[in-house]
Amino acid sequence: MATIKSLTRKIRALKNTRKITKAMKMIAFTRFRRAHKALGDSRAYGEEMGRLVSRLLPAAETPHPLTLPAPRPSGKILIAAFTSERGLCGALNTNMLLSLVPFLSERLAKGVAVTFLNCGRKGNEFFKRKKIAVQIENEPPLKKITPAGARGLADRLAREYAEGKWDEVWVVWTECHSIVRLTPTLERLLPVSLKAGGEPAAGASMLLEPDADTVLDGAIRDAVRTRVFGCYLGENASEHAARMTAMENATNNATVLIDHTTLVRNRMRQAAITRELIEIISGVESMKD
């Protein structure tokens, strides 16, 4: 049975835990603001890059290899999943990976060999636990999310697709729209889906050096890099948003436990005082007799 002393220790421990979770929430909020701003800048750049590529497509003499289906289908696809590097962010990774299950089931039923590229530390456990028949590869985590860091992965995926190793390359991540709106997103990265359009304004002309195909090649590869970088940024912002929500819930739960434990301790203390008073009164009455 709990004693007043043990309940006091428990209350002290809960208060210390509440201080930690409240501090972690504030840290996550600060990091989220910075990550969300970077994500917004990346989105604007990616949209403008897409419009540029659409304007360049009509000027190209030959189709770009990254926009064409695989010349020799291998029956293999790659899914690059961007998960968080740390925990304490609720069901963020689980919800994102669960959204993959219908897609995986459909492709596996068609006999497609699926390779899962884990870009983050929280993806391996999910597939081992679910026992899904996919091959798992691990991408070394980025020490810091930068365009240069994401470029290595993007160039690798583009090279392997151009060499015919994969029929398709997909990316899955959690898109962060706001603190309370985190959406698991699955998108095909390669072959690039683009539509020609966006002609220059009347009276305007484009001078492309050295030629349209070279400029288009650089633009498409930069668009792929921007998308991979955006996946890293989106998952990073979502991680901080989910952690902030999780720490807020933990802080509220700690407050409820503190209030409940304090009430139990006070009742025990009052009962002990009442019992002692009864004993004193009983002793006094027995002495009078």
**Total of domains in the chain:** 2
Question: What is the reported pLDDT for 85?
Answer: 78
Do residues 216 and 64 make contact, with C-beta atoms less than 8 angstroms apart?
Answer: yes
77 and 166 Cβ atoms separated by less than 8 Å: yes
Q: How much is the pTM?
A: 0.83
Average pLDDT, stretch 261-288?
86
CATH number, position 221: 3.40.1380.10
Domain that holds residue 183: 26-246
Which has the higher per-residue pLDDT, 185 or 127? 185
Q: Which pLDDT score, from 0 to 100, does residue 131 have?
A: 66
- Name the residue with tokens 């209350």: 11
Q: Tens digit of pLDDT for each residue in 158-168?
A: 998 988 888 89
| Highest mean pLDDT pick, 154-168, 199-213, 249-263 | 249-263
Query: What's the pLDDT at 112?
Result: 86
pLDDT at residue 125, as a whole number: 72
Please give the pLDDT value at position 25: 93
How confident is the model over 93-119, as a mean pLDDT? 86
- 15-54: pLDDT as tens digits: 999 999 999 999 999 999 999 999 988 888 888 888 888 8
User: Looking at the structure, do residues 43 and 168 belong to the same domain, yes or no?
Assistant: yes
> Closest Cα partner for 198 from 14, 24, 51?
51
Residues 66 and 173 in one domain: yes
Contacts of 41-50 spanning 24+ positions with Cβ under 8 A: 42/226, 42/229, 42/230, 42/233, 43/230, 45/226, 46/223, 46/226, 46/227, 46/230, 49/219, 49/222, 49/223, 49/226, 50/194, 50/223
Question: Can you give the pLDDT at residue 203?
Answer: 38
Same domain for 141 and 44: yes
Asked whether the predicted pLDDT for residue 13 surpasses 80, the reply is: yes
| Nearest Cα to Cα of residue 244 among 37, 32, 85, 38 | 32
Residue 248 banded pLDDT, cuts 50, 70, 90:
very high
My answer on whether 274 and 149 are in the same domain is no
Instruction: Judge if 94 and 72 occupy the same domain.
Output: yes
Q: Are residues 137 and 265 in the same domain?
A: no
pLDDT at site 196: 52
Most confident of 131-145, 154-168, 188-202: 154-168
Per-residue pLDDT, 210: 76
